Amino acid sequence: MAEVQAKPVPVPDGISRPYWEGANLGVFRYQRCGACGKAQFYARSVCVHCQATDLQWHKAAGTGRIASFSVIHRAPIASFAADTPYVLALVDLDEGLRFMCNVLRCDPAQVRIGMPVRVCFELRPGSEQRIPQVEPA
Ligand SMILES: [Zn+2]
């Protein structure tokens, strides 16, 4: 029997490191522009709204709502097969940013657009990295 490939683990770089380190501390960090005041996700070296480079890291409250979602019945790689069916969602956090994640601790049939959720952190097996996900609020 073939060995199942491990789930992918993020490789933090100079720009994303504060985000991933925050996740390991149980904190969802995001960037906000000092010039235009808007939030952005994922981390970049310039503001996607005004191209300024005055970006600061902030801590999100971790609350938001499902903007869209899909129930995955057929895993993209073998290491996700045991999780099916699972929910892949776009979540709007209250701070004004959208991120993609899984909805945990919830029957996929119960997920709805607009459903309130809160960020939780899933330890990726075989690594020391926690992944921001959400669960029903
Ligand atoms: Zn800006």
Task: Name the residue ranges covered by the structural domains of the chain.
Answer: 17-136
Q: Which residues neighbour 132 within 8 Å (Cβ) at sequence distance 6 or greater? A: 23, 28, 99, 101, 119, 120, 121
51-71: per-residue pLDDT in tens?
A: 999 999 999 999 999 999 999
Beta strands in 6-104 (DSSP E): 29-33, 39-40, 55-59, 63-72, 86-93, 97-103
Phi, psi of 20 (to 5 degrees): -70, -35
Distance 26 CA to ligand 1 centre (A): 27
What spacing in Å lies between the alpha carbon of 50 and ligand 1's midpoint? 4
Dump pLDDT digits (tens) for 11-21. Answer: 999 999 999 99
From the list 105, 99, 78, the residue with the least C-alpha distance to 3 is 78
Distance 54 CA to ligand 1 centre (A): 8
The rounded Å distance from CA 70 to ligand 1 centre is 31
Q: How far is the CA of 103 from the centre of ligand 1 (A)?
A: 30
Query: How far is ligand 1, taken at its centre, from the CA of residue 125, in Å?
Result: 36
What are the strands of the beta sheet with 29-33, ordered from one edge? Answer: 39-40, 29-33, 55-59
Cα separation, 100 vs 90, whole angstroms: 5
What is the average pLDDT value for the chain, to the nearest integer? 96
96 C-alpha to ligand 1 centroid (Å): 13
CA of 35 from ligand 1 middle (Å) equals 5
Backbone conformation region of residue 51, classed left if phi is above 0, alpha if psi is from -120 to 50, else beta:
left
**Long-range CB contacts for residues 13-17, cutoff 8 Å, separation at least 24:** 15/43, 15/44, 15/45, 16/42, 16/43
% of residues, the chain, pLDDT over 70? 97
Beta bridge pairs of residue 125: none
Q: How far is the CA of 92 from the centre of ligand 1 (A)?
A: 19
- Residue 126's pLDDT is 86
How many angstroms does the Cα of residue 13 sit away from the middle of ligand 1?
Answer: 22
On whether the CB atoms of residues 101 and 87 are closer than 8 A, the answer is: no
